[in-house]
Amino acid sequence: MTASPAPHRPSSSRTCRSSSPDSPPFLERGSRAYWHASLALLFAGYATFSLLYCVQPLLPEFSAAFGVSPAESALSVSVSTASLALAIFVAGFVSEGWSRHRLMTMSLTASSILTIIAAFLPNWHALLFVRALEGLALGGVPAVAMAYLAEEVEPEGLGLAMGLYVGGTAIGGMAGRVISGVLADFFSWRVAIGGIGALGLLSTLAFRALLPPSRRFVPRRGMGFRHHRSALAAHIRNRDLPFLFLMGFVLMGSFVTLYNYVGYRLIGAPFRLNQTQIGAIFTVYLTGVVASPWSGKMADVFGRGRVLIASLALMMTGVLLTMSMSLPVIVGGIACLTFGFFAGHSVASGWVGRLALHAKGQAAALYLLAYYIGSSVIGSYGGHFWTGFGWSGVVGLIAALLLVGLAGAVYLDRRERGTAA
């Protein structure tokens, strides 16, 4: 349901409004500039996740082609996310003095080209090296995108804009897995990776053409270590932000671990699925396109803490359902976990931008640092649980992590309601 426009509100032809007479104007929800920014960052989210996770359905292919174990094969994901975590942390500081638009464009272009290069590499270690470089190149997108939205979009429209950005990551994650799985089945894993790289370049062109220039961001050059250290310490001392960083670790660690190893389970007995069939299952990623903007709206109505708790509970339900021996039930479980992940991530990432009173790029970088450390550490370590205990071991690891996340979400919910009271 859409609300009727109030007579005193600006018309849709106006692109922005000011938060105060002396401050630059926000991008107003419903304006052309608002939708251009939202669509541009949807393309950025798509490119980031498709480039980062296109190798995930190819892990069994890597095991066969290079003679590596499941845990070693998962390094093709983990080295990228680990280097991305480091790059994001640096980018959060660098972005305070650089053009947001230029930094994101350079990052997307370089990572797309590196993905195409990876398709031609002759050995396993060369592939891992280029995947690590790709993670470093992508570091200029996620934290800067979150900071751009938090700075430029009016508070009333931030939830939807952030949801569309996270929805773009859902589309990218789905497309990267499905397209690479189908291309690998019909051609080879090399064609699959090269095709995703080419699509990344096209997305970069769309992003560059659509994104409006920053209005409210003023680059601050010449800031020394002391400034960054004090800003970092302020974020850590904040009573709520560290718990949101924990949410990023839990959400992404659980999500990536399931997707890393469910392919090994479905390829084996009794399911015996091929790469195209497994790729088709990954279309449940599309639930994230719905979950992200929906959770932003629900958070405005019921509170962020409650939506975060519900998201983690849904993820727990989903991972437990994957213990079934029925393929439809397993697919339903993957869909529940995926929906819960994107809903929780959309709420948590947008919450960081609201709680950080200054240096929003650094706060977003800290959240994403924890987010991708969860992906690289838990995602890689889950291979040992798969090898040692089978699927029940992977489920046990994810469930334990989600219990920690639920405890943190309950704390955040109490803090939010206490502040409102």
| Calpha distance 181→264 (Å, rounded) | 14
| Calpha distance 414→42 (Å, rounded) | 32
Band the pLDDT of 9: cuts 50, 70, 90: very low
What pLDDT shows up at residue 310?
93
Range with the lowest mean pLDDT among 128-137, 196-205, 221-230, 299-308? Answer: 221-230
**pLDDT: which is higher, 298 or 62:** 62
Alpha helices in 187-240 (DSSP H): 189-210, 225-237
| Calpha distance 46→386 (Å, rounded) | 29
| Calpha distance 274→277 (Å, rounded) | 5
Q: Please provide residue 27's backbone torsions phi and psi, each rounded to the nearest 5 degrees.
A: -80, 115
Structure tokens of 413? 């919910």
What pLDDT shows up at residue 87?
84
Which SS3 state, helix, strand or coil, does residue 17 take?
A: strand
Helix (H) or strand (E) holding 253: helix 241-267
Q: What is the set of domains in the chain, with CATH numbers? A: 29-216+227-420 (1.20.1250.20)
Structure tokens of 129? 């090296």
- Is the preceding omega at residue 270 within 30 degrees of 0, hence cis? yes
Q: What is the pTM of this model?
A: 0.70
- Mention every residue, 6+ apart, whose C-beta is less than 8 A from residue 393: 385, 386
Range with the lowest mean pLDDT among 70-74, 188-192, 251-255? Answer: 70-74
Query: Does residue 198 register a pLDDT over 80?
Result: yes
Which SS3 state, helix, strand or coil, does residue 390 take?
A: coil
- Mention every residue, 6+ apart, whose C-beta is less than 8 A from residue 382: 74, 257, 260, 261, 394, 397, 398
Range with the lowest mean pLDDT among 77-81, 87-91, 96-100? Answer: 96-100
Percent of the chain with pLDDT over 70: 81
Structure tokens of 415? 């803090």
Q: Please provide residue 94's backbone torsions phi and psi, each rounded to the nearest 5 degrees.
A: -65, -35
